[in-house]
Amino acid sequence: NIFAQIVIGFIALYILVMAFLAGFYMEKIISEIFVGRNTIEIFIGFIFYYFLADFLFRIQLQELPTLSIVPYLHLNISRKKIISFLNIRGLFSVFNIAPLFIFLPFISTKIGTTYGSLVMWMMIVILVSLIVLNNYLVLYLKRKLFSNFFFLLIGVGVVAGLAALDYFDIISLSALANSVFQEIVKSPFVGFGFALMALAIFMINTKYLRENLYVEEISTKAKNKTNTDYLFLNRFGKVGELCVLEFKLVFRHKRPRSAMLIGILFLLYGFVFYQPENLDKDKFEIMIFAAIFMTGSSIINYGQYMFAWQSSHFDGLLANKISYKDFIKAKFLFFTITCTIISLLAALYSFMSWKILLVTVAAYLFNMGFGAVIVLWFATKNYKRVDLTKGTYLNWQGSSALQFLMGIPLLLIPSAIYFPFELMGNPYLGLLTLGLFGLVTLLMRNFWVNQLTKLFIKKRYKIAEGFRE
């Protein structure tokens, strides 16, 4: 445990140093990416989007410091002191420290030298206020409500939509943020409004803790029952019921939920690979790589542990009266729903160019047809148990060389299909062939279901034996 803490400490230190260097060279980075643009205006807009994304990530990743007060609840310690301890404990988070390393260097150098020390200090006050505001707002919402995966999915879509509107100058939220900044330049003390908002949410959070200072009240484990009946899946019968259980497993456990979250983060690949020079020159071989990972993120990231997610109750599944064919079909149905939703989000990049839509559709068909089959085939070879309660950070439980081998066909086969057409100067025909390959394998789904069911029946006892270790 001590060695693990030392390793984590070094990794955290490395991340903070990288964050500081990014902040120190931010002016140079902005000027190189946004040539000819005002670096301060870009910086202010970036802060706005950073804290929007920060709020979404906190909802899924920030832990409630509940267990830290359990040893003190039965002792003769006043509620006021326990609440103060809980509030202070909540501030010690990487979410609160990282923004200081990223933004303070630019604020103290560029903004300080351009607008003076008063505006600089007010920007620091605003930065700290936004950190505190996000910190206690998320803690309050997670105590009062619950951590909902669909909330995150909708939130990512909203942020991506706002960024797209900003990119195409339809609705410029960056301009709105900069207009607020100009007001602060004219009247610096206006910035204390952010501090008042942070103080307000701090007081609301404190009041809630004072009234509900019991473990069962402040823990998210005893929250209101959420509606986990998905009526649209009822028409699939037993397959739909098993698919509902798959969704419940994701929503209720940390490790699979984190895997899906990381899969959604793959959507950011588009900003890296969908560059104008690649689109103008029809360099689809580069964009296909990103599209495969974006549209198939749920299949790749979640599906690699597909049977291992049930490792804690796998023996019960074998003992119950469940059709193995329905069990496999439910996995495919889960892939179909999640892959379709994420692909629709990835299709938002099509506003940049209609060519991206072609790449996205081809990658979607490939993942739905071939990708889902190959991932489930590798899943039958994985005999390592997975603990659902633990996160994915520095957690290699359940991982093996199979996860790396699985990536080989998912990367090489699309390239092998497309690249000959690229050499012949017919990139669009290459995309069409890739899409048709995926469509053909998708239409053969019943065949794949039968083959995977036979393989699962053959391997089920070996899988169960591995999960018991």
Q: d(Cα 51, Cα 48) in Å, to the nearest integer?
A: 6
Structure-model confidence comparison of residues 61 and 417, the more confident one: 417
**DSSP structure string for 44-82:** HHHHHHHHHHHHHHHHHHPPPTTGGGGGGTTSS--HHHH
Contact call for residues 215 and 275 (beta carbons, < 8 A): no
Report the C-alpha gap between 19 and 33 in whole angstroms: 18
Instruction: Give whole-number Cα distances, 403 to 356, 375, 398, 430, in Å.
Output: 28, 9, 10, 28
Q: Where are the alpha helices (DSSP H) in 266-395?
A: 269-273, 276-280, 284-295, 297, 303, 314-319, 324-346, 354-366, 372-379
| DSSP code, position 301 | I
pLDDT for 64: 64
CB-based contacts of 40: which residues, under 8 Å, 6+ apart? 110, 111, 114, 181
The whole-number pLDDT of residue 266 equals: 77
Per-residue pLDDT, 249: 82
Pick from 191, 257, 200, 252: nearest CA to 226: 252
Query: Maximum CA pair distance of the chain?
Result: 80
In the prediction, which pLDDT does 40 show?
A: 86
- Cβ–Cβ under 8 Å, residues 284 and 430: yes
314 pLDDT band (50/70/90 cuts)?
confident
Segment of 274-283, 302-311, 324-333 carrying the highest mean pLDDT: 324-333
Q: Closest Cα to residue 27, out of 14, 38, 16, 15?
A: 38
| Region of poorest pLDDT, from 194-203, 207-216, 294-303, 442-451 | 207-216
Percent of the chain as helix, strand, coil, to the nearest 5: 80, 0, 20
241-261: pLDDT as tens digits? 888 888 888 877 777 777 787
Spatial separation of the C-alpha atoms in residues 64 and 87, rounded to whole Å: 10
Would residue 237 be called left, alpha or beta, if left means φ above 0 and alpha means ψ between -120 and 50 degrees?
A: left
Read off the pLDDT of each residue in 311-338 and give the average, rounded to a whole number.
80
Supply the pLDDT for residue 227: 40
The pLDDT value given to residue 219: 47
Mean predicted confidence (pLDDT) in 394-421: 73
pLDDT confidence tier of residue 167, bands split at 50, 70 and 90:
low
Structure confidence at residue 204 (pLDDT): 87
Q: Would you say the C-alpha torsion 306, 307, 309, 310 has a positive or negative sign?
A: positive
**pLDDT for 258-305, tens place per residue?**
778 777 777 877 777 888 877 777 778 888 888 888 888 888 878 777
Q: Tokens 């803690």 — which residue?
A: 139
The number of angstroms, rounded, from the C-alpha of 363 to the middle of its chain's C-alpha atoms is 20
Higher pLDDT, 396 or 329: 329
Q: With cut-offs at 50, 70 and 90, classify the pLDDT of residue 197.
A: very high
The reported pLDDT for the residue numbered 296 is 84
Least confident interval from 26-30, 76-80, 85-89, 388-392: 388-392
Closest by Cα among 369, 376, 368 to 324: 376
Amino acid at 397: Q
CA end-to-end span of the chain: 21
Q: Convert the pLDDT of each residue in 31-89 to its tens digit.
A: 888 777 888 888 888 888 888 878 777 776 666 665 556 666 656 677 778 778 777 87
Q: Could you tell me if 440 and 369 are in contact, meaning their C-beta atoms sit under 8 angstroms apart?
A: yes
DSSP letters spanning 415-450: HHHHHHHHHTT-HHHHHHHHHHHHHHHHHTHHHHHH
pLDDT at 154: 64
Can you give the pLDDT at residue 402? 64
> What average pLDDT does the segment 97-123 reach?
87
Q: What confidence tier does 220 reach under pLDDT thresholds 50, 70, 90? A: very low
Q: What single letter denotes the amino acid at residue 422?
A: E
Q: What pLDDT score does 217 carry?
A: 46
Report the length, in residues, of the chain.
469
Q: Give the span between the Cα atoms of 293 and 343, in whole angstroms.
A: 10
Other beta carbons less than 10 A from residue 72's beta carbon: 13
Residue 221, pLDDT > 60, answer: no
Token digits for 64? 């409630």
Among residues 320, 319, 345, 333, the alpha carbon closest in space to that of 263 is found at 345
Identify the residue with better confidence: 164 or 267: 267
Nearest Cα neighbor of 390 from 309, 296, 299, 465 is 309
Which amino acid type is present at position 333? L
Q: Which of 331, 323, 142 is nearest to 238 (CA)?
A: 323
pTM for this structure? 0.53
- Distance, C-alpha 448 to centroid of its chain: 30
Among the listed residues 449, 174, 159, the one whose alpha carbon sits nearest the alpha carbon of residue 324: 449
For range 97-104, the mean pLDDT? 85
